[in-house]
Amino acid sequence: MRARLAAAAVLLIVSGCGASDAPDGGDGRLSDGTSGPALSGTLTVFAAASLTDVFTDLGDQLMELHPSLAVRFNFAGSSALATQITQGAPADVFASANAAQMAVVTDAGMAQNPTVFAGNVLEIAVPAGNPGGVDGLADFARDELALAICAPDVPCGAAAEQVFDSAGVAAAPDTLEEDARAALTKVELGEVDAALVYASDVVSAGDAVEGIPFPEAENAVNAYPVCALADAPNPGAARAFVDLVLSGVGQAALGDAGFRAP
């Protein structure tokens, strides 16, 4: 019985990648000082969902430089990613949206010396045209508005609590969203008058959403750490990706996406 179960379980496990050192075939040149031997195999990057657009672009750039390298991404909530990594999911790089979830991985001894590569601050997101007439954090106390903030259990919610506390605003949200993306969706659909999300989320939503920065946001700057994992199947590629993120190219891309420098 047990043997049969094990056999069935094998089918469910997505096989990891086998990294191999291919002979140096390309020119190995990388802009902005990030250069090295040609990379090959598969690079698996676990990254916070808010990084989806930027990291996909950066991954494409890396693949252009190393044609025999395939970059795969697993974008999800940072805590889900941390759980997957500590449960043994084969990953080369972990980029978290906060220090706490990175700590879960480093405490488990699966990564060392994470580097903060970006910061993200909260911004008020309102539907195009701002139907609720929202202009500052104080509007989150208005009962008649439909308001979304993140649940305190997730990083953007913890940050929201922090800014409301420091601003002395008694927020009256209608919903505590499971992540910033879900809150943003409700803004995009026009179902809430305002949501508290990250500046990068507002940029990613395009014209449907307007962002309103507010000074209290500085009290809760969210730091994004990244690191190559200790058991990375493709350590060379992992190093190269982390370097790219930290490079001028990477930082410029992050800036365009609404992130700020660390």
Contact footprint for another protein (CB under 8 A): 1, 4-5, 8, 77, 79-80, 83, 146, 148, 151, 153-154, 173-178, 182, 185-186, 189-191
What is the three-class DSSP state of 104?
Answer: helix
For the chain, what is the total number of helices (H) and then of strands (E)?
9, 10
What is the three-class DSSP state of 154?
Answer: coil
Nearer residue to another protein within complex by CB, 39 or 154: 154
Nearer residue to another protein within complex by CB, 99 or 146: 146
User: Tokens 């494409």 appear where?
Assistant: 60
| Smallest distance, another protein to C-beta of residue 237, A | 30
Paired with 225 in beta bridges are 116
| Smallest distance, another protein to C-beta of residue 177, A | 6
With contact defined as beta carbons under 8 Å apart, do 95 and 245 qualify?
Answer: yes
| Smallest distance, another protein to C-beta of residue 218, A | 25
| Smallest distance, another protein to C-beta of residue 229, A | 20
Nearer residue to another protein within complex by CB, 71 or 81: 81
Nearer residue to another protein within complex by CB, 85 or 257: 85
**Other CB atoms within 10 Å distance of the CB of residue 162:** 16
| Smallest distance, another protein to C-beta of residue 142, A | 15
Nearer residue to another protein within complex by CB, 104 or 121: 104
| Smallest distance, another protein to C-beta of residue 74, A | 17
Nearer residue to another protein within complex by CB, 32 or 191: 191
Q: How far apart are CA 93 and CA 235, in angstroms?
A: 9
* CA neighbor of 92 nearest in space, from 43, 55, 49, 19: 43
What are the Cα distances from residue 94, in Å, to 177, 184, 248, 249? Answer: 24, 24, 20, 19
The sheet carrying 175-177 orders its strands as 175-177, 147-150, 194-198, 122-127, 209-212
